[in-house]
Chains A and B, each alone.
Chain A
Amino acid sequence: MRLELIAIKNIVRRKQRVFFLLFTIIVAVAIVNSLYQLNTSMSSEIGNSFDRLGPNIIITVPDSNLDVSPTPLIADDYMKVYQIPERNSIAVVSPKLLDVGNVEATKALLLGVYFQFESQLKPWWSWDGQLPFKTNEVLLGRNIATELQKSVGDTLQIENQEFTITGILNVTNTDEDKVVFLPLLTLQSLKNRGQEISFIEVAALCTSCPLPDIAEQIRQVLPNTEVKTLQESVAIRQATIERIQEFMLLGSIIILLISCFIVGMTMMNYVFERKVDIGVLRAVGLRRAHVFEVLITEAVIIGATGGLLGYAVGTIMAKYITPYIISLPLTIEFNVWFGGVSVIISILLTILASLYPINKVTKLDPVDALKL
């Protein structure tokens, strides 16, 4: 017989008594764990969603001054953005040429783009028909299409050349509603602009990296350009995520405190219930330290089991139940490291909660514990 065996036998053979304590710990760990996992995953998902909301860096040619005429941007410059050290934080780069041209009998804004990049840059875009694929196809903003009385499939005269309208954007409530979108190469050729482009829009995954650093790195690879960051939108994204994180963290802390209190009360009840057992152990010659060891061993076993099961239950809850409550596609997986931390915290919590009652009960003279 060893001291730890007394603890193990007590847990194994008095399951009903241990059950309530274990249940309390499992629920506490599961809720905190579930909230934490939800918090982490949600922040990341919201961050990613924000990152998909359009460009946050614009690269333009600087204003000309008297001494130096600026070097125009060319289409291939957009490739250089992918040479920066933080290239993994770049979601999409979209070079564009802006010009004004004769459309039917009127003047209109013409924007040359790579449609595959533009649609990635603006995931909120929706349209009737389809995006242009061939060099003689165009996409119209909703207002200009209405003004020109054009529909999908109609032809359109631009600078005396005939184009097919393959799609019409739905209302965006921006200037884009008045724009005619053409393939970039087509507009360059149409307006004799060679390889020239007007500006490049970049969407960086700004929740995972510092935007000013990315801008600085772009300046290094495109030295004759002006790189502007849309700090305000980034700040709003960051602030929103931080507010959500703070809220979740506060919730977790409150639940953790309540859990500590409940586990403490349950542990106190559990230890005081064993007063007579403790009296017996002391009466047969076990030191206070020995009894302490038995009870702490029980606390560690119960804490570890509760932590492990609580982590499993919490992860399952976060993975399978919360998606029904929160409409976000969350990525929650079992994580050995996080599971280990849950177990350790649960053990520490249980030990902490048991210290006071164990200390109090083991201080009793055996005669008081046994009520002789």
Chain B
Amino acid sequence: MAFINLENVTKIYNLKGANVTALQTTDLTINQGEFLALMGPSGSGKSTLLTIMGTLNPPTSGRLIIDDIDVYQLNQERRADFRYSYTGFVFQQMHLLSYLTSIENVMVPLAVSKYSRKEQYFMAETVLEQVGLLNKKHRLPKELSGGEQQRVAIARAIVNKPAIIFADEPTGSLDTNTGNEILTLFKKLNETNNQTIIMVTHNPETLSYASRTVVIRDGIIDSDTLSDKEYLCSEDREV
């Protein structure tokens, strides 16, 4: 049984009275521990697919089953609990809370947890060490570089040990070297913790890290390929 199962999912946006189909009928299954790269041209529907799988964006029709739970049948509050237990998010714009230090940002998802303040602090320190930023735990986001901010965002995404990490172009606003460092970090998390990673990306370098690549075009899955670096690189050129 697949860990994530999308069944007949569609997403239609209503823009100024006109219906725009962002995602046509889509079926997709993802196993636990996969590192999936979601690629496609701008406006192809890859971010829509990511946010639907990330339980942030209810589909117009269809079902999302994660770990045997029909997620969109849950009410908003239950879905928030589900997100807390199962998912971590990393955004292209990092979206760190500007008024919190690195360690405070990492502790935000734990604010409603059963952990004591001391435990929360220890957990946050552990993940900050994992991403190599323990020495900057008291810095505000504005005092960090783009790559460092993204590392904090990753630490925030993994602090409650989620089964799935969703990343929306996490290297999109970083230079190549920093981008590669971030991708290495994701790969390490994938391999050491067996966390499922689903990443929207434009970066061809990602393909050498991902175990599977799904290409979307015009709201339809155009190709779904298991990792073969050279083959995937040629696939990307077609895109």
Contacts and interface: CB of A to CB of B under 8 A. Distances in A.
Interface of A: 1-3, 5-6, 9-10, 12-14, 276-277, 279-290, 365-367, 370, 372
Contacts of A290: 80, 111-112
Given A10-B99, A276-B95, A2 B117 contact: yes
Contact of A285 (B58, B76, B81): B81
Contacts of B3: none
Contacts of A3: 111-112
B56 interface: yes
B140 interface: yes
B87 interface: yes
What bracket does the count of chain B residues touching chain A fall in? 35 or more
B95 A1 contact: no
A22 to B, nearest CB: 16
Contact residues of A: prevailing secondary structure:
helix
B156 A284 contact: yes
B117 A287 contact: no
Contacts of B160: 285
Interface of B: 47, 51, 54, 56-58, 76-77, 80-81, 83-85, 87-89, 91, 95, 97-100, 104, 107-112, 117, 120, 140, 156-157, 160, 168
A283 B56 contact: yes
B111 A9 contact: no
Contacts of B81: 285, 287
Contacts of B85: 285
Nearest to A366: B56
Given A365-B56, A367-B56, A372 B112 contact: no
Nearest to A369: B56
Contacts of A286: 80, 84, 108-109, 111-112
A207 B160 CA distance: 69
A367 B84 CA distance: 16
B224 to A, nearest CB: 23
6 contacts: A1-B104, A3-B112, A282-B80, A284-B156, A284-B157, A370-B91
Contact of B97 (A280, A282, A365): A280
B95 A285 contact: no
A285 B109 contact: yes
Given A283-B54, A287-B81, A366-B57, 7 more contacts: A6-B97, A6-B108, A282-B80, A286-B111, A289-B77, A367-B57, A370-B95
A286 B81 CA distance: 7
A3 B110 CA distance: 10
Nearest to B88: A284
A235 B88 CA distance: 75
A284 B96 CA distance: 11
B59 to A, nearest CB: 11
A370 B153 CA distance: 15
Which of A280, A290, A370 has the most chain B CB within a 10 Å cutoff?
A: A280
Contacts of B56: 282-283, 365-367, 370, 372
Which of A6, A276, A285, A287 has the most chain B CB within a 10 Å cutoff?
A: A285
Which of A6, A284, A365, A367 has the most chain B CB within a 10 Å cutoff?
A: A284
A286 B168 CA distance: 20
B108 A1 contact: yes
B77 A281 contact: no
Contacts of B117: 1-2
A365 B99 contact: no
Contact of B89 (A1, A2, A14, A284): A284
